[in-house]
Structure 1
Amino acid sequence: MSTQPSSNESKLGFLALTAMVVGSMVGAGIFMLPRRFAEATGVIGTGLTWLIAGTGMLMLALVFQTLAVRQPTLDAGVFAYAKAGFGNYVGFIAAVGFWASACAGNVTYLVLIKSTLGAVIPGLGEGDTILALVLSSAMIWAFVALILRGVQQAALINTIATVAKLVPIILFVIVTILAFDHRVFIDNLMGGEAATADVLFGQVRATMLITVFVFLGIEGASIYSRYAKTRRDVGRATVLGFVSVLALLAAITMLAYGVMPRAEMAALRQPSLAGVLTHAVGPWGGVLISAGLIVSVLGAYLAWTLMAAEVVLAAAKNQDMPAALGRVSKTGVPKNALLVSAALTQLILLATFLTDGALDFALDLTGSLALLPFFLTAVFAVKIALTRDGYDEVSAKTRRRDLIVGGIAVVYTAFLIYAAGLKFLLLSCLLLAPATVLYLVARREQRHPFFKRYETLILVVLIIGAAVALHGLLTGWIAI
């Protein structure tokens, strides 16, 4: 994953890229959907959420498709668009945001595994006990040791995990269709709340971050775009993979409302998909989902560990992070990038352990950290459409279409940032501001000026945000 493929035969085709998008998106989040939605809303709110999230994320998928065609030289992933459009430091911030999101996502996987096992091993609780912390920490470094031996061995685990997660998910859909009770479904329409615009808006806003989490991976084909046989396959794979996953996510959440009352579903322990299936068919259903989840999450953890290292490697290769992070071992593994990613994962795990709801906090942090890279990507798409960059010999109709799609994606990602709330925005600053040290080292290595005037202003805003976040944590104003 660290070197350019030597021949066209070794590159990825359309189906392989589509599988990469689907595999990246279908991970831990899908197993947590019933409870997270039931905690916030009923059937109507869920339908509105998927309509808004589906439309917004489809626009973002189309943005990735457009950029793959219009900017074919930008093949370092999501942060490359931010750098090309808004300068080196903004590109670095986008890279760190996406990198930190991948590491926080891995923490979610670790906590979820322990919460699943906690159903039979009380000492693990819901993934938030001392024993769970110790075992999760051991897993971080065990996976590092595995990957350092070579990506080929890691790929075998990922293949097994893909099969393991699809079987119980497909079974869940089939069983819930058979067990569907329209009376329960109707009772869950509003979940016991008044059907007013204000109530629905609040319910939809409360579910937005979980949709971001389950859609993470939509940019998977873009991250590995330099391995594609043709650039057009990158965008097509992103759109097809997204539509397939959206249909699966919407089906699972809607069908669950026809099996259990909202209040009971909201009280389930995670993974709540197991609880819903247990309610429908008995204990064996929960055991099957839990087993599939553990294997699935192990594969997702592996994929996102590699993804996090790839982001750091790409940033180092583009001279946005220290050169040492761009070194590759004899087995083809970006060793230093992998180690620094594991260290950040460990740090976030420790922070998560101090929270009341470890799993929900890690999940929401993951989604919030990904928002800035997505927002900047959408803004960049609008910028090139306005300036006609990459639109030589392209019809005015096509450019207008791309401008509209990009504009909707900008509005949607801006709404997501609003929905995430001030707390997660400030916590993001607490990660981004100290990470600037890596940027300063890289700039010094290249003997380039540290900041332009507007970049200095951005740094000042990040430092202020980090200071406010730290003060809020110490005084209890920000509760985690």
Structure 2
Amino acid sequence: MTLPSAAPKHKLGLIGATALVMGNIIGVGVYMLPASLAPFGWNTITGWGITLSGSLCLAWVFAVLARHLPHAGGATGILGMALGPAPAFVTAWGYWVSAAVSNAAICIGGVSYLGRLVPPLAQSPTLSAITGCAVLWLLTALNSRGLKASGATQVITTVVKLLPFVMVILVTMLLLFTNGMASIAPFDASTLTWTGATGAAALTLYSMLGLECAAMPADVVNNPERTVPRATMLGTILSGLLSLAVTGALVLLMPAAQLALSAAPLADFVTPTLGSAFGVVITVCVIIGAFGALNGWVLVVAELPAALADQQMLPPWWGVRNARGAATNSVVVSGVLASILIALSASPRLSNAYQFVLLLSTSTSLILYLLAPVGALVLARRGVVPRSAGLVIAAVGAIAFALSAYAGAGRDAVLWGLVLTAAGIPLYIVMARRRALT
């Protein structure tokens, strides 16, 4: 998400900037995440501890870079300054892959909840996959015609997608008030392992993707030297704690076997306490939030490679636009990639397809999370940004976090992520040779 570079008439204060940060981070993955976390038990809490610590380190790095380099062109421009055009391209391409894969995850999760209202979807993986692809291409067609959701619509969908969080926290409080600690799964220290913690962290990181968007350009906030870092850190903390509260509540308060098989975890959690009507309300909220988010991300995954084409890092074909200005070729390629993953989710051989898609999206985004702090250290050494103990500690912590997340994501997700990321390198080499000849 990119904010306008021109100075707006009304600038954001701490509250407005923090709200923007939270809006960027909180997505729809958290609605399905508890089912994937069910096998991890109490390791979910330690995994969230790793994710929150690493996210705060990353947030600080992005906040410092945004404060001192607000007009560098975002992460790609900053990495280009620090490490050169090739690492900047690989990072941008990997982020595009992550976003396209995330669109598949949004479709799978949204249709999974839709199955609560339309039972045939829950009974037929094939029909569910077809529906997911249909929704994806419908929104792709709408975006290609230049239709954009209004700001008011985005605000409404943001509020709607937070309602399930409120209901889950309410039910958690009621259960604890009624049954006390007996409601919580027994704690067994012997089940806590580093492998379990990093595995859970790789999944929980998906709920924090988007924190790189948090560090807004300095010219849209009041007193940016103080507001940007504070809003970034505060928004990251609040988003992380909210997601931790929701996922942790379901993992520790629902039977693991039931949670692992749930196609709509939040709805299944509140229904026994509040009634089926509230389960339906949550289901509707999740569907609106999911497909509302998908509408915006369809546009994002189209614009990312088109922007690289405009910078002559990809062949001009990727930047072709129709009469309404939509990047038609880019949006088609992005849609095809997401559709393949959605179709694979219907295969009986991939019982954990949704979890694999989450890990694939996370592993491809880790390129940015690994190289951004490296770039920050390089720029600090050159004196481009002030070198401070806080920046060095945050950058080292972010690097360690990214490496541990790679380990937790598992071999298959990391290897497929590397393959998809490497697929863009030949295109970059071709364009680099063309630029050298001109």
TM-score normalized by the length of structure 1: 0.80
- CA offset at residue 115 of structure 1? 1.5
- CA offset at residue 277 of structure 1? 1.0
Match of 1:93 among 90, 94, 97: 90
> Conserved in 2, the CA contact under 8 Å of 1:2 and 1:328?
no
Gaps of at least 5 residues in structure 2 are none
Q: Cα deviations across residues 381-402 of structure 1 (Å, max 9, x unaligned)?
A: 22223333323xxxxxx61221
Equivalent-residue separation in structure 2 for 1:283 and 1:433 (angstroms): 47
Equivalent-residue separation in structure 2 for 1:114 and 1:227 (angstroms): 40
Equivalent-residue separation in structure 2 for 1:251 and 1:229 (angstroms): 30
One-letter amino acid of the counterpart of residue 331, structure 2: L
2:379 aligned residue: 384
- CA offset at residue 380 of structure 1? 1.2
One-letter amino acid of the counterpart of residue 107, structure 1: A
Alignment of 1:43-58 (within 5 A): 45-58=43-56
Is it true that 1:317 corresponds to 2:310 in the alignment? yes
Equivalent-residue separation in structure 1 for 2:377 and 2:50 (angstroms): 20
Find the residue that maps to 1:9 and give its secondary structure. coil
One-letter amino acid of the counterpart of residue 415, structure 1: S
One-letter amino acid of the counterpart of residue 248, structure 2: M
Is it true that 1:265 corresponds to 2:259 in the alignment? yes
One-letter amino acid of the counterpart of residue 70, structure 2: P
One-letter amino acid of the counterpart of residue 403, structure 2: A
> Conserved in 2, the CA contact under 8 Å of 1:68 and 1:235?
no
- CA offset at residue 291 of structure 1? 0.9
1:164 aligned residue: 160
2:234 aligned residue: 240
Is it true that 1:276 corresponds to 2:269 in the alignment? yes
One-letter amino acid of the counterpart of residue 412, structure 2: K
Alpha-carbon distance change, 10 to 103 in structure 1, aligned in 2, over 3 angstroms: farther
Q: Cα deviations across residues 78-112 of structure 1 (Å, max 9, x unaligned)?
A: 33333333222222111111111111111011111
Equivalent-residue separation in structure 1 for 2:221 and 2:3 (angstroms): 15
- CA offset at residue 407 of structure 1? 0.8
Q: Cα deviations across residues 195-218 of structure 1 (Å, max 9, x unaligned)?
A: 23x743232122112211100111
- CA offset at residue 445 of structure 1? 4.4
Alignment of 1:51-450 (within 5 A): 51-76=49-74, 78-125=75-122, 129-150=125-146, 152-153=148-149, 155-180=151-176, 181-190=179-188, 195-196=189-190, 199-222=192-215, 225=217, 228=220, 232=225, 234-256=228-250, 259-267=253-261, 269-326=262-319, 331=324, 333-354=326-347, 355-391=350-386, 399-447=388-436
Find the residue that maps to 1:285 and give its secondary structure. helix
One-letter amino acid of the counterpart of residue 143, structure 1: L
TM-score normalized by the length of structure 2: 0.87
Find the residue that maps to 2:73 and give its secondary structure. coil
- CA offset at residue 273 of structure 1? 1.3
Equivalent-residue separation in structure 2 for 1:333 and 1:234 (angstroms): 32
- Structure 1 window deviating more from structure 2 (206-215 vs 115-124): it is 115-124
> Conserved in 1, the CA contact under 8 Å of 2:185 and 2:253?
no
Is it true that 1:38 corresponds to 2:38 in the alignment? yes
Equivalent-residue separation in structure 2 for 1:317 and 1:403 (angstroms): 34
Equivalent-residue separation in structure 1 for 2:403 and 2:155 (angstroms): 36
> Conserved in 2, the CA contact under 8 Å of 1:33 and 1:253?
yes
Alpha-carbon distance change, 156 to 340 in structure 1, aligned in 2, over 3 angstroms: farther
One-letter amino acid of the counterpart of residue 157, structure 2: A
> Conserved in 2, the CA contact under 8 Å of 1:309 and 1:338?
yes
Find the residue that maps to 1:273 and give its secondary structure. helix
- CA offset at residue 446 of structure 1? 2.6
One-letter amino acid of the counterpart of residue 393, structure 2: I
> Conserved in 2, the CA contact under 8 Å of 1:96 and 1:432?
yes
Alpha-carbon distance change, 350 to 186 in structure 1, aligned in 2, over 3 angstroms: closer
Gaps of at least 5 residues in structure 1 are 392-397, 450-480
1:19 aligned residue: 19
One-letter amino acid of the counterpart of residue 125, structure 1: A
Equivalent-residue separation in structure 2 for 1:367 and 1:257 (angstroms): 21
Equivalent-residue separation in structure 1 for 2:429 and 2:314 (angstroms): 8
Find the residue that maps to 1:219 and give its secondary structure. helix
Equivalent-residue separation in structure 1 for 2:351 and 2:423 (angstroms): 25
Equivalent-residue separation in structure 1 for 2:247 and 2:342 (angstroms): 28
- CA offset at residue 57 of structure 1? 0.6
Equivalent-residue separation in structure 2 for 1:137 and 1:124 (angstroms): 13
1:395 aligned residue: none
- CA offset at residue 187 of structure 1? 3.6
> Conserved in 2, the CA contact under 8 Å of 1:24 and 1:300?
no
Q: Cα deviations across residues 340-362 of structure 1 (Å, max 9, x unaligned)?
A: 32233223333444433222121
One-letter amino acid of the counterpart of residue 252, structure 1: V
- CA offset at residue 252 of structure 1? 1.5
Find the residue that maps to 2:32 and give its secondary structure. helix
- Structure 1 window deviating more from structure 2 (233-242 vs 326-335): it is 326-335
How many residues in Structure 1 have an aligned counterpart in Structure 2? 432
Find the residue that maps to 1:125 and give its secondary structure. helix
Task: State the identity as a percent.
Answer: 28
> Conserved in 2, the CA contact under 8 Å of 1:184 and 1:261?
no
Equivalent-residue separation in structure 1 for 2:3 and 2:230 (angstroms): 24
Equivalent-residue separation in structure 2 for 1:327 and 1:29 (angstroms): 31
Equivalent-residue separation in structure 1 for 2:320 and 2:219 (angstroms): 19
Alpha-carbon distance change, 436 to 96 in structure 1, aligned in 2, over 3 angstroms: same
Alpha-carbon distance change, 277 to 423 in structure 1, aligned in 2, over 3 angstroms: same
- CA offset at residue 164 of structure 1? 1.4
